[in-house]
């Protein structure tokens, strides 16, 4: 038996997983990150103890306690250098979990874990080269190269959201301009449209959201794009274009067999992936396109739980 934990900015999800990769139990609770690292840590430890007890499993025989978290993580020590989502700086997460749970703990970046989970348990055909792109409020990436998770020289590889697609483009939270994330990250896209709505823009979008500017999401923007709303045609065309440019760069650089796309923006849209692939197809090198599949992620929350339970140490 294994335990997989996913500590996100708003919720913590954990699962009990058997050796075949079946998730036997899932629990979720709020992160309440404002209460601080120590508080989150102690609730994670209690949560794991409670979950396994309820299923008649003891801590001792667990093969792995995997914990995924957003942020940059030292793969050697399991320390989190910096996690903006959780407001953690240099915390010894692996050491603290191992001390609290007395088991074999592995700490991994959440998008690396999700990519690994989708690759190993979600994809058909066992491809040896796959790239994960997860577009939610921001954008994260993961790389499976030659059948292994690729972490890079110091463990922070696959920051796909921060490849520069336009040096004169929109400002990104990382401080640069024109990152993939600044063009396609959900919070950026929504903010651009909300600011126009707050300035008085109406159009077809207004009817779709029934005047609820705060409740706007990228699904509404795509729906308005399809309905021919002027603002959303501009904004969503740009999302499609830049998503396609990113796919093209990734395909040309890495020649993966599969690009797995997930996250709220991809899942909340009907045509985004197909449209972006259409952009890629016009500009990608034919040899890089040959045989490449671009697919939606299929496992949801379980991808991270499974990935962090099985990823190689
Ligand atoms: Zn950036």
Ligand 1 midpoint to CA 182 (Å): 6
Torsion of CA 222, 224, 225, 226, to 10 degrees: 90
pLDDT over threshold 90, residue 251: yes
For residue 11, the surrounding DSSP H or E stretch is strand 11-17
Q: What is the mean pLDDT of the chain?
A: 96
**Which tokens sit at 296?**
């939606």
pLDDT over threshold 90, residue 75: no
Ligand 1 midpoint to CA 43 (Å): 32
pLDDT value for 59:
85
Mean per-residue pLDDT for 222-229? 98
Whole-angstrom distance, CA of residue 224 vs CA of residue 216: 11
Enclosing domain of residue 261: 125-296
Residues 93 and 234 occupy one common structural domain: no
Q: Is residue 231 part of a domain?
A: yes
Q: Is residue 280 part of a domain?
A: yes
Q: Is residue 307 part of a domain?
A: no
pLDDT value for 105:
96
Give the Å distances, CA to CA, from 293 to 121, 251, 256, 260, 280. Answer: 16, 10, 9, 8, 12
Ligand 1 midpoint to CA 161 (Å): 6
Residues 196 and 94 occupy one common structural domain: no
Q: Is residue 114 part of a domain?
A: no
Q: Is residue 240 part of a domain?
A: yes
Residues 172 and 268 occupy one common structural domain: yes
Summarize pLDDT for 24-46 with one digit per residue, the tens.
999 999 999 999 999 999 999 99
Q: Is residue 310 part of a domain?
A: no
pLDDT value for 120:
97
Residues 181 and 239 occupy one common structural domain: yes
- Read off the CATH number of the domain in which 94 is found: 3.30.420.40
What is the band of 84 on the pLDDT scale with cuts at 50, 70, 90? confident
Whole-angstrom distance, CA of residue 38 vs CA of residue 64: 22
Residues 169 and 235 occupy one common structural domain: yes
First to last CA, the chain: 17
Ligand 1 midpoint to CA 135 (Å): 13
Q: Is residue 309 part of a domain?
A: no
Residues 159 and 292 occupy one common structural domain: yes
Ligand 1 midpoint to CA 111 (Å): 16
- Residues 179-214: b if buried by 16+ CB within 10 A, e if exposed: bbbbbbbbebbbebbeebbeeebebbbbebbeeeee
Q: Is residue 143 part of a domain?
A: yes
Whole-angstrom distance, CA of residue 13 vs CA of residue 302: 9
Model pTM score: 0.95
Residues 95 and 132 occupy one common structural domain: no
Mean per-residue pLDDT for 240-265? 98
């Amino acid at each position: 038996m294994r335990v997989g934990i996913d500590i996100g900015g708003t919720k913590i999800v954990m699962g009990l997983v058997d050796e075949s990769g079946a998730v036997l139990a899932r629990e979720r609770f709020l992160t309440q990150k404002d209460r601080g690292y120590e508080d989150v840590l102690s609730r994670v430890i209690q949560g794991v103890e409670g979950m396994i007890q309820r299923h008649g499993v003891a801590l001792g025989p667990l093969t792995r306690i995997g914990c995924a978290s957003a942020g940059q993580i030292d793969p050697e020590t399991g320390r989190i250098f910096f996690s903006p989502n959780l407001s953690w700086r240099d915390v010894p997460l692996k050491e603290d979990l191992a001390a609290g749970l007395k088991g074999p703990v592995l700490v991994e970046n959440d998008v690396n874990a999700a990519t690994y989970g989708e690759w190993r348990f979600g994809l058909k055909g066992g491809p040896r080269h796959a790239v994960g792109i997860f577009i939610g409020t921001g954008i994260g990436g993961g790389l499976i190269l030659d059948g292994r998770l690729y972490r890079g020289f110091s463990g922070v590889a696959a920051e796909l959201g921060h490849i520069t697609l336009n040096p004169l483009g929109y400002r990104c939270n990382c401080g640069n301009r024109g990152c993939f994330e600044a063009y396609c990250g959900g919070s950026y896209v929504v903010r651009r449209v909300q600011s126009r709505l707050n300035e008085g823009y109406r159009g077809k979008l207004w009817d779709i959201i029934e005047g609820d500017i705060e409740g706007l999401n990228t699904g509404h923007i795509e729906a308005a794009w399809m309905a021919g709303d002027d603002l959303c045609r501009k904004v969503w065309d740009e999302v499609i274009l830049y998503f396609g440019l990113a796919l093209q760069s990734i395909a040309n650089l890495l020649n993966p067999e599969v690009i797995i796309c997930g996250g709220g923006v991809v899942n909340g849209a009907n045509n985004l992936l197909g449209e972006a692939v259409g952009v890629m197809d016009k500009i990608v090198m034919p040899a890089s396109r040959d045989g490449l599949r671009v697919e939606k992620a299929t496992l949801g929350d379980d991808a991270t739980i499974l990935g962090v339970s099985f990823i190689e140490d």
